[in-house]
Amino acid sequence: MKKILYILCALLVIAGCGKSGEEKKTLTEQLYGEWHSTSLTVSGDVYINFTEAKTFELYQKIGEGAYRLYRGTWNVEEDLLAGKYNDGEAWASAYRIKIEDNKMTMTSMNDASEVTIYTAAMIPEDVIRACEVVVKSAEAGF
Amino acid sequence: MKKIIFAMAALIVAGTSCTKEIQEQSAPVAEQHTLMTKLVGETTGDFLKGSILVKIDEGISAVSVIEGIGAEEIFPALMIQPKNMEVARKYGLDRWYQISFDEAVPVQNMAAEVAKNPSVLSVQYNSLIERIASDKVVEYVPVPQTKESPVDQSGFDVMFNDPYFGEQWNLYNLGSIASVIGASKAGADVGVKDAWKLTAGDPSVVVAVFDCAINSMHEDLKNALWVNEAEVNGESGKDDDANGFIDDKYGFNFVGCSKITKDYATGLINGQKAEGVKGNLLNWTAGSGHGTHVAGIIGAVNGNGKGVSSIAGGTGNGDGVRLMTCQIFEGSKSASDAQNAAAFIYAADNGACIAQCSYGSSAVITSDEDYINGIQDEKINGSPLENAALRYFLDPANSNHESLQGNIAVFAAGNHKNPYSSYPGALPYVISVTAFGVDFLPGGYTNYGPGCKIAAPGGEYTDDNNYRTMILSTGVSNAAQGSPAYDSGKNYVYMQGTSMACPHVSGVVALGISYAKKLGKKFTREEFTSLLLTSTNDIERYLTGTKNYYDLSTYSWTAVSLDKYKGNMGTGAVDAWRFLMAIEGTPTLLAQAGKKMSIDVSRYVNPSEAYTLSVDDATRNALGLVSDPVIKNGKLEIECSKVGSGKIILSGAVGKDTEKEGGIGEMAYSRTLSIASRPFATNNGGLL
């Protein structure tokens, strides 16, 4: 009986270790992957892919029209997320982030009323494909 | 008054002895003035003998007009279906009649006699139209290309399995086609390759091709034709669908008033071959395949493993646009004004939403009023009947597609190197297309300036080792009649001209309508053309210095200054992808409240165009605008003091003759940009 109890305890410890291992994922690690907006402060639809190489791909559709792709780099310090676009322009705001149950809440450090919410979701292929186009007049020297 | 006097002088000069006799008989000068204002038509150009066109007053018996003047017959100039009579009346089409008389009687004499009748409002010579075509065609020797074995444009990405796609720089230009005009420029194309990811056409879109007949046997076109099922399945020689036209299976021949006739290039003259030239000069008296070439640019079937790709030819699953023949050229014959007007009525009544018109008037006309009313300084030109029929075609009541209110007409600007567009293309309610080459520079032949609305690939012949800078499309047989190749339907040829540029725009418009349908959107004609004209690419930046142009009229190279084309090629180069994006909708621009912003809008509107910006009071208040927004170098400069949202209207115009009062008028356009002012924003539009 003692032996059985010992085994059960051991299993519980192992299971507990597993759970605590997940909880130990840093905020940065939890951010990796693809996210889809569920609540924005403007009318639109947004997908973001945060890569382990600390780059991001932002597919945004604000108001009418097609998705537009922005690329750049990002960084997290404690719970503050900041970034820069590839054209050199910094994000307009840094964000305090909170990730829970595949849901990410971003609160602007410039304006606390600017809160956006994302859930973990794959970026649809058609969204990616539509952004693969070079717009001639917007690009130099075509 | 000056115009009237000059017009009289022109008539006297052009008149025959019989005309003089009439003038001598006519007494008061004032009366002559009244007569002459009624006379329109091209006295110095070609016109039908034994025929004139008249517009009579309401409630007047047509027969009374020819009483006692020796005419044989008077009959309605156009056949109007009863259900369409209301729209026809709007443009007075029900009051145009054709008078026939002995061909020995000079047309001028009969016109002057008829004009004396106070019930006759207008008299028009039954002028013959001119096709806009360069006289050069080069047969294509097939060199099938695949992604693995490209011939020239190495690295091109095949969208469809059409083997000659690699030759079609006009659809996808990688900048690697060998050129002796100017360096081939990547992007000097119609921008369709990416647009195909969204749509490649829709069979509900019918394009009427006003030209010589489309070769209905061609392997790459036979499944792209508009088909009148009732006639195809009906009885030969019978008007099976009761539309007034017998055996109009794929369209109608308005020149011969018959079913469409085949058009073969059997009259090609090999005049240059002795000098080592591969190309042939076209002998227009025998046919050319011009209409077949034009049709192939718009809608040759994509993805069928044969021939060329086209702008709106679908994906190989029967989903491309449909091509209707409105035959206005037959061998050496051209349609008269009345026949051409009938073609517009036919296109409107039988489902076409686009009129593709690579033709124009040969007359020198530089004023809308002159064209519409007919009287011009020293000549009597114009075509009020054709104009009225064109307006009938464009009228919203005759809309032939669920996504478009009204129909659209696209014309070639002309190949005479003139600093203005040919008419009818110069009219402010139709699109006139200029041409550029593989180097993104104007084709040396292209008309430019007032009346021109947009530019497209037209290609350029240089020499026979460089004919690939022309436009490759479907063609007709150059083989002798009776030979196996005669009916093969496998011919592909190169041509050049604004005739070729024009169908590029028609094709893009067709693609746009297809995409609007896919999105469930509907536009007015004005909204749709505004989107087309503002989503062009900038070509102004290339218009400096000179380029060498091979002039086919002199067979010599000429240095052409590019400066003269500045601001004169239309709003820019047509781009299918940008147009579809505009149809999809322009994203809301994000600005930061309390900060002067410079927002890049060059991906949404052509940055080289000068726009007038306007905002209403509601927007001004909602955004707390500190100053009036402006666009400079493709960037919207705006300063908002409040968080809010509103709309900015961008407006502009193209085609206006700014040097001649009352000259060629403008086509206005506008776009609406939505703007949201937030607590923070970036200049590049990124949300974060």
Q: What is the pLDDT of residue A69?
A: 92
- Per-residue pLDDT reduced to its tens digit, B527-540: 999 999 999 999 99
Q: Which residue of A37, A107, A136, A139 is the best one to mutate when testing the B interface, meaning the one whose CB has the most B CBs within 10 A?
A: A136
Mark yes or no for CB contact A136/B191 under 8 Å. yes
Contact call for residues A42 and A116 (beta carbons, < 8 A): no
pLDDT for B533 equals 97
Q: Is residue A20 part of a domain?
A: no
Q: Which of A9-13, B564-568, B598-602 has the lowest mean pLDDT?
A: A9-13
- Residue B2: is its pLDDT beyond 80? no
Nearest CB among A58, A114, A137 relative to B602 is that of A137
Q: Do A111 and B686 touch (CB under 8 A)?
A: no
Suggest the residue from A68, A133, A137 to mutate for an interface test with chain B (most B CBs closer than 10 A). Answer: A137
Residue-number span of the structural domain to which A62 is assigned: 26-133
Could you tell me the CATH number of the domain that includes residue A70? 2.40.128.370
Considering only the top CATH level, what class is B586-678?
A: mainly beta
For the residues B193-203, what does the mean pLDDT come to?
Answer: 92
CA angle B470, B471, B477 (to 5 degrees): 105
CA dihedral B502, B504, B508, B509 (to 10 degrees): 20
- In angstroms, the separation between the Cα of residue A24 and the nearest Cα of chain B is 28
Does any CB of chain B come closer than 8 Å to the CB of residue A114?
Answer: yes
Number of domains composing chain A: 1
Q: How many residues does chain B have?
A: 688
H or E, element range at B504:
helix B498-519
On whether any CB of chain B is under 8 Å from the CB of A55, the answer is no
Pairing of strands B454-457, A44-50: unpaired
- Give mean pLDDT, residues A29-42: 95
Q: By percentage, how much of chain B surpasses pLDDT 90?
A: 60
Residue contact B686–A137, C-beta within 8 A: no
In a domain, A37, yes or no: yes
Tell me the average pLDDT across B582-608: 90
CB contact under 8 A, A62 and B679: no
B577 touches chain A (CB under 8 A): yes
- For B688, the closest of A66, A87, A92 (CB atoms) is A92
Share of chain A above pLDDT 90, in %: 62
Chain A interface includes B174 (CB < 8 A): no
Q: Closest CB to A89: pick one of B186, B592, B684.
A: B684
Q: For residue B634, what is the nearest residue in chain A, using CA coordinates?
A: A138
- The CATH code belonging to domain B136-254+281-577 is 3.40.50.200
Please give the structure tokens belonging to residue B441: 């520079």
Q: Is residue A46 part of a domain?
A: yes
pLDDT in tens, B455-493: 999 998 876 666 788 999 998 866 555 556 656 778 888
**pLDDT class of B599 with cuts at 50, 70, 90:** very high
Q: What is the reported pLDDT for A132?
A: 72
Nearest CA-CA distance, residue B302 and chain A, Å: 21
**Helix/strand/coil (H/E/C) assignment for every residue in B271-337:** CCHHHCCCCEECCCCCCCCHHHHHHHHHHCCCCCCCCCCCCCCCCCCCCCCEEEEEECEECCEECEH
- Alpha-carbon gap, residue B293 to B301, rounded angstroms: 13
Q: What confidence category does residue B139 fall into, taking pLDDT thresholds of 50, 70 and 90?
A: low
At A23 the pLDDT is 59
Q: Do B679 and A46 touch (CB under 8 A)?
A: no
pLDDT tops 70 at residue B148: no
Q: Which of A65, A89, A137 is opposite residue B683, by nearest beta carbon?
A: A89
Angle at A37 between CA B593 and CA B583, to 5 degrees: 75
Average pLDDT over every residue of B580-584 = 93
Query: Would A99 be classed as within a structural domain?
Result: yes
Provide the token pair at B352: 């076409």
**Would you list the domain boundaries of chain B?**
3-127, 136-254+281-577, 586-678
Average pLDDT, chain A: 83
What pTM does this model have? 0.87
Residues 517-576 of chain B with CB under 8 A from chain A are: 536-538, 572, 575
Task: Give the pLDDT band of residue A84 (cuts 50, 70, 90).
Answer: very high
Neighboring chain A residues of B587 at a CB cutoff of 8 Å: 61-66, 68
For residue B198, the chain A residues in CB contact (below 8 A) are 130
CA distance A107 to chain B (A): 11
- The pLDDT, as a whole number, for residue A131 is 79
Q: At CA B610, angle to CA B608 and CA B611, rounded to 5?
A: 125
CB-CB: which of A64, A68, A91 is closest to B688?
Answer: A91
- Say yes or no for a CB contact (<8 Å) between B680 and A46: no
Q: Greater confidence, B647 or A66?
A: B647
CB-based contact B687 A43, cutoff 8 Å = no
Task: Establish if A9 belongs to a structural domain.
Answer: no
**Tens digits of per-residue pLDDT, B427-462?**
999 999 999 999 999 999 999 999 999 999 999 887
Residue A2 lies in a domain: no
* B136-254+281-577 shares its CATH topology with B586-678: no
Among candidate residues B672, B680, B666, B632, the one with its CA nearest the CA of residue B651: B672
Cα of A66 to nearest chain B Cα, Å? 7
Residue from the list B577, B676, B679 with its beta carbon closest to the beta carbon of A110: B679
Rounded CA gap, B625 and B675, in Å? 12
Residues in B 212-241 with any Cβ partner in A closer than 8 A:
none
Query: What 3 state SS string does B369-431 have?
Result: HHHHHCECCCCECCCHHHHHHHHHHHCHHHCCECCEECCEEEEECCCCCCCCCCCCCCCCCCE
> Is B681 within 8 Å of A92 when comparing Cβ atoms?
yes
Output the DSSP codes for B218-273. -TTTTTSB---HHHHTS-TTS-TT-SS-TT-SSEEETTTTBS------TT-B-TTG
The C-alpha of A23 sits at a distance from chain B's nearest C-alpha, in angstroms, of 28
Compare CB distances from B588 to A63, A133, A138 and report the shortest one's residue: A63
Max CA pair span of chain A: 80
- What does the pLDDT look like over B7-48, one tens digit per residue? 222 222 222 222 223 233 333 444 554 565 666 655 556 778
In this complex, do B684 and A87 lie within 8 Å of one another by their Cβ atoms?
A: yes
